[in-house]
Amino acid sequence: MTADRTVAGVLLAAGSSDRFGEPNKLLATLDGEPLVRHAARTITEAEVGPVAAVVDPESSGVRDALAGLDVTTVENPGAAAGQAASVRRGVAWARERADAVAFALGDMPRVDPETVDRLVGAYREGRGSALAAGYDGRRGNPVLFDGRHFDALAAVEGDTGGRAVFERADDAAVVETGDPGVHVDVDTVADLGRLRD
């Protein structure tokens, strides 16, 4: 059983906005707040702790958007290399602080904090060492990894994050959350427009 295991939260918020264009999509507003602040609130209001946001040191706006939230910022100077670089930074930060880590994405503003709690609950019940939030039978985000996967996560490359690590885990599982927000990310201006409608 893993009932007493500590789960850290890591918000991946250092990505580029290539498909969105300028300015940084994480700073685009939804319901009066930057996207990244919505995503950060999801993880800080969940039953995890401590929480860090991996940010691009060149994007002071993201750091400013997180002001007042209980989030440690971790700089990723290699942000341009893809999401894996942020995963590696997040794991390095979490390794000394927790038994497991839940990763959330800065461009997913509609995930409910209870969704993260469901992942943590499933982990503590021993339902798997690699867990992904699901909705309607499809895998989404956030994802949670037990510490046994930290070395593999620390070695990921490219722009796929921890997907390959999840797929290789022999006890990986998708946790049904009832939350359609686990599939809602903002890659383009049109995506944001649909959320605003």
DSSP structure class, residue 59: -
Which is higher by pLDDT, 158 or 84? 84
pLDDT of residue 188: 64
Q: What is the CATH number of domain 7-196?
A: 3.90.550.10
pLDDT (average), residues 141-158 = 94
Contact 163, 153 (CB under 8 A): no
| CA 128 from centroid of its chain's CA atoms | 18
- Exposure string of 97-133, with b = 16+ CB inside 10 Å and e = fewer, is ebbbbbbbbbbbbbbbbebbbbbbebbbeeebbbbbb
Q: Percentage of the chain surpassing pLDDT 70? A: 92
Kindly report the pTM of this predicted structure: 0.93
- 154 burial level (CB within 10 Å; 0-12, 13-18, 19+): middle
Show me where the domains of the chain are located.
Answer: 7-196
Q: What's the pLDDT at 18?
A: 61
Measured in whole angstroms, the distance separating CA 186 from the mean position of its chain's CA atoms is 14
**21-35, 48-62, 171-185: range with highest mean pLDDT:** 171-185
Nearest-CA neighbor of 143 among 160, 114, 120? 120
Strand ranges across the sheet with 51-55: 72-75, 51-55, 7-13, 100-105, 138-146, 130-135, 173-176
- For residue 142, the number of C-alpha atoms closer than 13 Å in the C-beta half-sphere is 33
Judged by DSSP in three states, 109 sits in: coil
The whole-chain average pLDDT of the chain stands at 90
Instruction: State the pLDDT at residue 197.
Output: 64
- Of 116-120, 135-139, 193-197, the range with the lowest mean pLDDT is 193-197
Over the stretch 92-128, which tens digit does the pLDDT of each residue have?
999 999 999 999 999 999 999 999 999 999 999 999 9
Q: For the beta carbon of residue 164, count every other beta carbon within 10 angstroms.
A: 16
Is 53 in a helix, a strand, or coil?
strand
Residues in the chain: 197
